[in-house]
Amino acid sequence: MNQTMKSFWAGVRAESPLLVGVFPFGLIYGALALSAGLSPAAAQMMSSIVFAGSSQFVATQLIHDSTPGLVIVLTIGVVNLRHMLYSASVAPYIEHLPMRWKVLLAYVLTDEAYAATIIHYEEEGFTPTSHWFFLGAGLALWTTWQVSSALGIFLGAAIPSSWPLDFAAPLTFIALVVPVCKDKPVVAAALSAGIVALLAYSLPFKLGLILAALVGILIGTVFENRNSPREVL
């Protein structure tokens, strides 16, 4: 197997533990979208057009509540603001690639693909085929999301509402965050973001999430620079 394919499959493998959490999330999305009144075709297409789990859940809920279309679009934008930060984070590693690669990788830049890829970049550094790792992780997630959405739409109301499948999403995030809490600034960032998310939960359009993330990032950065402020400024 050549180096390109090795990197691609390494990306698929790195992504696969995360897919265990994604799959039930997709099942739930499919079932919820149908019960909110979307047609099966629209529910399935949202998974490839928007392709961002939590915003799809929010959009489904808003469609169910007959929210005006423009508000739904803006809410999707706000919920997905964090992707700009992911975009800035991976940008230096794929700077050299042609535009068609950048467009393709931007399309698959989801929470879970980002999580697996940035760990790879930070640990292994830059290699000539590492964009194939990124693509492998991204396509593994894309495929899982499409299949699980389709299955959720198919099974629809047959899934008992007492099944706590939606809990798989926060569990996946716990599995990602806890291992990176290796130093005090990261712990401070995680804890402060969590606390602000609770305090600001009632803000509209999931703005509490954005605010909490920004406070966490700020506190982590300040914490890290406490001992060496001159190095940065």
Residues 119-178 that bind another protein (CB under 8 A): 162, 164, 167-178
CB of 129 to another protein, least distance (A): 18
- Rounded to whole angstroms, how far apart are CA atoms 99 and 78? 26
CB of 2 to another protein, least distance (A): 26
Backbone angles phi, psi at 168, to 5 degrees: -60, -30
- Length, in residues, of the chain: 233
Residue 208: alpha-carbon gap to chain centroid: 17
- Rounded to whole angstroms, how far apart are CA atoms 218 and 188? 10
Q: Which stretch binds another protein (CB under 8 A): 1-9, 125-133, 151-159, 215-223?
A: 215-223
Nearest to 72 by CA among 90, 55, 52: 55
Binding mask 80-109 for another protein (x = CB under 8 A): xxxxxxxxxxxxx-xx------xx-xxx-x
Among 68, 98, 125, 204, contact with another protein (rule: CB under 8 A): 68
Among 128, 143, 155, 194, contact with another protein (rule: CB under 8 A): 194
Q: For residue 116, give the DSSP letter.
A: H
Contact call for residue 203 and another protein (CB under 8 A):
no
Nearest to 51 by CA among 124, 146, 120, 128: 146
Q: Which stretch binds another protein (CB under 8 A): 4-12, 15-23, 140-148, 151-159?
A: 15-23
* H helical segments located in 128-228: 130-155, 168-180, 184-199, 207-225
CB of 112 to another protein, least distance (A): 10
CB of 127 to another protein, least distance (A): 18
* Total of chain residues touching another protein, rule CB under 8 A: 93
CB of 1 to another protein, least distance (A): 25
Nearest to 110 by CA among 174, 212, 19: 19
Backbone angles phi, psi at 98, to 5 degrees: -65, 160
Among 42, 147, 151, 159, contact with another protein (rule: CB under 8 A): 42
- Please identify, using beta-carbon distances, which residue of 67 and 127 lies nearer to another protein: 67
